[in-house]
Amino acid sequence: MYRSVEGGALWTPITAAVASSFGVAVAAHPREPLRAWFAPANSDARRMPVNGRLVVTETRDGEESFTARGDGLPARDVYHLVYRHGLDSTADGEVLALALGSTTGGLWISEDGGSRWECVSRGLPPIAVLRFA
């Protein structure tokens, strides 16, 4: 995972991630530029959640610190991978909802900024892209 504050001219690695610094999916807060959520994975070679537990890590300070949030997400023996467009946040930022979709057809929604997740389905086809309408 990398971050740019120069409009993409210079990139620096994000190394403070709680679960892993290898992440595919990212959702940025629509109004708070230092706040974002990541769905980390082990590595490019081991595309599965770290320690078999699905979490979404959140930063509120532009990568200085991360909090792993997994309440309501599968906690063990998990093989859900989240593609880069499989995590999204509402565009207005008023009601901060997040949606998370996996390659194995799992879909979860959080209506409180990622603190608590609710499973919508585990039987969908692989989810490549999620967007709030």
Query: pLDDT (tens digit, 9 = 90+) per residue, 17-32?
Result: 556 666 668 898 888 8
Q: Among candidates 38, 49, 43, which has minimal Cα distance to 22?
A: 43
Token duo for residue 63: 């990568």
Return d(Cα 95, Cα 23) in angstroms, integer.
Answer: 25
Tokens 């969908």 belong to which residue?
124
Residue 32 to residues 5, 36, 60, 96, Cα–Cα distance (Å): 14, 8, 8, 12
Higher pLDDT, 91 or 125: 125
Q: Among candidates 61, 69, 1, which has minimal Cα distance to 33?
A: 61
Q: CB of 36 within 8 A of CB of 29?
A: yes
Return d(Cα 16, Cα 2) in angstroms, integer.
Answer: 11
Q: Write down the pLDDT at residue 108.
A: 97
Return d(Cα 98, Cα 114) in angstroms, integer.
Answer: 6
Using a cut of 0.85, tell me whether the model's pTM lies above it: no
Return d(Cα 66, Cα 116) in angstroms, integer.
Answer: 16
Query: pLDDT (tens digit, 9 = 90+) per residue, 87-115?
Result: 999 987 677 899 999 989 999 999 999 99
